[in-house]
Chain A
């Protein structure tokens, strides 16, 4: 998918690939019938991407409105945050919003990995 976001510089790329401190974690649950809503948090975009990976057995639980703020303030990626705000606001349903987020975050991670020469930050 062609996502019109500029390639991050190395410093931003490392932030995109890094985990935020525990105090900056973002609440993220998962509805898994019949178990219920499982609590959880994410501390990195990679973790968020895994959470949002579609499957036919469960649904991710994230506050999409608050997520963009977290990406901007905790992760420090303003451009991705702006894109998330625009694209999820236009989503026809919550699940579509999650799918758009999944695609955008996935594309951003690819950009960041490329920017650091394929190495993972931690």
Chain B
């Protein structure tokens, strides 16, 4: 029987024995793909699930695709999910996840693999050369120490892939190391996923980088690979993916274009929608030149990155193009210079395979320590970095080198920023907010948990900064409209109605779930919102791999009734899934599968040692107020007033109440069917999801929740 959408096999790389074998995808089909399959593989193959540092040899890392990868599903064809125990979190590095785009996942599918399971540790540095079904472990001693771009170029050279874009077919038999048994032709270069010096040096900042600017940053998976002596995986595939119902797939894709996306001939540049906006780069600085073109993940309808004729900043987008911004302003003489420094420093973090997100709040803390006379040459925290040149490319590069190679302050920061703060005697900075690492030792994202509850609560109940923008666009859209004094295209009551129409099974037609007012912030309703987001994301975004920036589409001003594509009968997520796989699932079925995956993840966290007593935000979120209007004039969100009237309301100026949040946790655990005393799942809950095997292992470890749900 054809397994539509899937390649049919998962590649197991046993690094210790330098052997590979194929696992039948069918065995893991119940988990969908991506994160779900990765968690299930971790569960089966990790021999010690109590480990709390991803650099432990028992750690298992999975790089997973989805059935939708390699197809034309809009903004779902080119993402790739990575799971395993992470590095650098506090107090524990949880089993966690990251995600990157580009063409790696699609190439892996075309090579015949639904994912890669990485176990063990190679005795010396290696890279893995995958050409369709052929898998070869190769010596990486010549690659170790190289940056991520140089590594990819060297692998292309070693394989014999010509530089530049091909306009004719490359026969796999003609490549270096090719043989008569290598069938297939391609116009593509191998897709390479690699680590740079940050990963080689086992720092928590280590990312996985693919092509110029696709990175899996959170989780420190670069260090995980570094600990396994795995420098890179290269894949070249020449096959294809069988789609169950190609007509239905094309019909749904056309529906998105014709119905939900802004009309190209009469564009609405300010449309309120996630899926239906015009293609837009998310580079955070002004373009360095008008000579530029869009660049995107395979199958995406957006194109959020760019390439420039100036030769720097190519394919970097989002946070890595702004990590240095507030400091560059101190030295840049003009907007053009500001752009150039920022983009050159984006290139540096890409090449070092460095997760720049820690610097978004972390560099302000380091500057604070330096200016207070605590950090610097001959200071209590010694540092020979040229702090007087902060904002320059020179300082930016020296900082990234230090943090990537454990030099200077990088020696202490490599294993976690909160750990470094404690080592340096700066515990008070976690209380004052001088160091804003909000949840599990991860930096505050830019959406403060004291205002945007689902972001903060979702992060702390999970394993990392959630970085899921399902509801977050309410804040950005409405706040921008207020800032410009523009017409509010969707009023607060209508906005919440449009959301909750699509929020079955937990919150359908319950608008109160989106009420973030003081009176409702610790409610059962908000707990249902967080559940919906976590379960939706675990399947639809992290397993089916719909892009976080395009889905879900709750509201859409391109539609006369303002309803977005999410869950719709003509272009909802489930329509694409079913067209590709031949399944007959609903949006809710996917959310239910997400609940199972979430429960499997929680079981792993429990085996790692999680207990509700550990589930706390950083102290500053309880002890200090979110300064009203300090960094932005307002944080607008729909709330009900004391008379029950919905209004867009400013959420700044408050802090979290620890007792209130503790009560909220109890409600959340009860709704999940977890023991509220411990946060551990109960047998009853797990058995209802056909997960007795999980209950058995938890019971064996003495960590099964008691009581009933």
Name A's B-contacting residues (CB within 8 A). Answer: 19, 22-23, 27-44, 47, 50-51, 53, 55, 57-59, 61-66, 92-96
A50 and B338 contacting across the interface, CB-CB below 8 Å: yes
Instruction: Pick the contact of A47: B284, B318, B329, B549 (CB < 8 A).
Output: B329
A32 and B284 contacting across the interface, CB-CB below 8 Å: yes
B329 and A27 contacting across the interface, CB-CB below 8 Å: no
Residue on B nearest A63 in the bound complex, by CB: B629
Residues of A within 8 A of B448 (CB): 37
In the assembled complex, the Cα of A23 lies from the Cα of B631 at a distance in Å of 17
Instruction: Pick the contact of B549: A23, A28, A31, A34 (CB < 8 A).
Output: A34
Expressed in whole angstroms, the minimum distance between the Cβ of B335 and any Cβ of chain A is: 5
Q: Do A39 and B322 form a contact, CB below 8 Å, given A63-B633, A95-B484?
A: no
Residues of B within 8 A of A34 (CB): 282, 318, 469, 472, 476, 549
In the assembled complex, the Cα of A31 lies from the Cα of B630 at a distance in Å of 12
B282 and A51 contacting across the interface, CB-CB below 8 Å: no
In the assembled complex, the Cα of A16 lies from the Cα of B30 at a distance in Å of 66
Residue on A nearest B318 in the bound complex, by CB: A35
In the assembled complex, the Cα of A113 lies from the Cα of B426 at a distance in Å of 42
Chain B, 437-458, contact with A by CB distance < 8 Å: what is the 0/1 string?
0000000011110000000000
A27 and B627 contacting across the interface, CB-CB below 8 Å: yes
A31 and B329 contacting across the interface, CB-CB below 8 Å: no
Is B392's CB within 8 Å of the partner chain A?
no
Instruction: Pick the contact of A28: B322, B361, B484, B631 (CB < 8 A).
Output: B631
A51 and B286 contacting across the interface, CB-CB below 8 Å: no
Instruction: Pick the contact of A38: B326, B332, B338, B483 (CB < 8 A).
Output: B326
Seed contacts A35-B445, A38-B326, A59-B632; 9 additional CB < 8 Å A-B pairs: A22-B371, A31-B476, A34-B472, A35-B318, A40-B325, A50-B329, A55-B286, A94-B633, A95-B484
A32 and B322 contacting across the interface, CB-CB below 8 Å: yes
Chain B, 270-283, contact with A by CB distance < 8 Å: what is the 0/1 string?
00000000000011
Residue on A nearest B284 in the bound complex, by CB: A32
A30 and B325 contacting across the interface, CB-CB below 8 Å: yes
A37 and B447 contacting across the interface, CB-CB below 8 Å: yes
B632 and A61 contacting across the interface, CB-CB below 8 Å: yes
A38 and B360 contacting across the interface, CB-CB below 8 Å: yes
* Nearest 3 Cβ contacts at the A-B interface: A36-B446, A29-B631, A93-B485
Max count, chain B CB within 10 A of own CB: residue among A32, A33, A63, A92:
A33
Residues of B within 8 A of A63 (CB): 629-630, 633
A96 and B485 contacting across the interface, CB-CB below 8 Å: yes
Chain B contacts with A in 301-318, Cβ cutoff 8 A:
318
Is B124's CB within 8 Å of the partner chain A?
no
Residue on A nearest B371 in the bound complex, by CB: A22
In the assembled complex, the Cα of A40 lies from the Cα of B473 at a distance in Å of 22
Is B504's CB within 8 Å of the partner chain A?
no
A42 and B360 contacting across the interface, CB-CB below 8 Å: no
Q: List 28 A-B contacts (CB under 8 A).
A: A19-B330, A27-B630, A29-B632, A31-B476, A33-B282, A36-B445, A37-B446, A37-B447, A37-B448, A37-B631, A39-B361, A39-B631, A40-B326, A40-B329, A44-B330, A50-B335, A50-B338, A51-B329, A57-B283, A57-B284, A59-B632, A61-B631, A61-B633, A64-B633, A93-B483, A93-B484, A93-B485, A95-B484
Is B319's CB within 8 Å of the partner chain A?
yes
Is B66's CB within 8 Å of the partner chain A?
no
Residues of A within 8 A of B633 (CB): 61-64, 94
Is B479's CB within 8 Å of the partner chain A?
yes
A35 and B446 contacting across the interface, CB-CB below 8 Å: yes
Is B482's CB within 8 Å of the partner chain A?
yes
Residues of A within 8 A of B364 (CB): 39-41
Is B480's CB within 8 Å of the partner chain A?
yes
Expressed in whole angstroms, the minimum distance between the Cβ of B484 and any Cβ of chain A is: 5
Q: Do A47 and B330 form a contact, CB below 8 Å, given A32-B322, A39-B364, A93-B483?
A: yes
Residue on A nearest B452 in the bound complex, by CB: A36
In the assembled complex, the Cα of A43 lies from the Cα of B367 at a distance in Å of 13
Is B436's CB within 8 Å of the partner chain A?
yes
B318 and A41 contacting across the interface, CB-CB below 8 Å: no
Residue on B nearest A28 in the bound complex, by CB: B631
Residue on A nearest B337 in the bound complex, by CB: A50
Expressed in whole angstroms, the minimum distance between the Cβ of B370 and any Cβ of chain A is: 9
B632 and A37 contacting across the interface, CB-CB below 8 Å: yes
A59 and B483 contacting across the interface, CB-CB below 8 Å: yes
Residues of B within 8 A of A19 (CB): 330
B447 and A38 contacting across the interface, CB-CB below 8 Å: no
Residue on A nearest B274 in the bound complex, by CB: A34
In the assembled complex, the Cα of A104 lies from the Cα of B572 at a distance in Å of 49
In the assembled complex, the Cα of A58 lies from the Cα of B329 at a distance in Å of 15
Residue on B nearest A43 in the bound complex, by CB: B330
Residue on B nearest A42 in the bound complex, by CB: B329
Instruction: Pick the contact of B326: A41, A44, A57 (CB < 8 A).
Output: A41
Expressed in whole angstroms, the minimum distance between the Cβ of B229 and any Cβ of chain A is: 34
In the assembled complex, the Cα of A38 lies from the Cα of B323 at a distance in Å of 9
Instruction: Pick the contact of B630: A29, A57, A92 (CB < 8 A).
Output: A29
B485 and A92 contacting across the interface, CB-CB below 8 Å: yes
Expressed in whole angstroms, the minimum distance between the Cβ of A20 and any Cβ of chain B is: 12
Residue on B nearest A53 in the bound complex, by CB: B335
Residues of A within 8 A of B329 (CB): 40, 42, 47, 50-51
Expressed in whole angstroms, the minimum distance between the Cβ of A27 and any Cβ of chain B is: 5
In the assembled complex, the Cα of A34 lies from the Cα of B466 at a distance in Å of 13
